[in-house]
Amino acid sequence: LTFDCGYPYEDCVPRMLDTLKEKGAPGTFFCTMQYINEAPDMVKRMIDEGHIVGNHTVNHPSDCAALDTKTMLSEVKGVHDKLLSDFDYNACYFRFPGGTYSEKMLKSVANTGYRIIFWSLAHYDWDPEDQPGVQTAFDTVTSRLHPGAVILLHTSAPDNVAMLGDFIDHARSQGYEFYSLDNYKHWN
């Protein structure tokens, strides 16, 4: 389970963390600088509860493929340094905003030592004001579930909060297990 945290929205993250704790499921939260600055208590809670905090850039650029290398590396370094200085946390996973990248950016970020994480399962959930509905979100995500899935959910989506526990239960009833990225069994 991976979550993109662009900015705090209502009480979505605390409720997601409550569900993950209740279900004993690990998560990775890819945080932007805005999220880290506005919700440091939630970032601390993620770390304290054993979840991974990943790097999702300073400004969440809409097209990382169009950035020059210096700007891209500054986006990565800013979040990395903030996590290190404020939380003594050394992030090692990175996600490109929107999944946009170029081969040059991919290589540049990988050369910093980050492991780049994409996803294999997602749904339309990033706009908190345009949610598909809890049942539709659940149906979409469960219908796309597959072995080795890296699931992307946005923390700004109230529908994700509402369906997360049922999704975890459903996936487990189908024989799926949830792993931390540190223990992911499908690395090449």
Active site residues per annotation: 4, 154
Helical segments of the chain, H only = 12-23, 33-38, 40-48, 69-87, 103-110, 134-144, 158-173
153 in Cβ contact with 132 (< 8 Å): no
Sign of the dihedral defined by the CA atoms of residues 32, 37, 42, 43, in that order: positive
In the chain, % helix, strand, coil (3-state, to 5) comes to 50, 10, 40
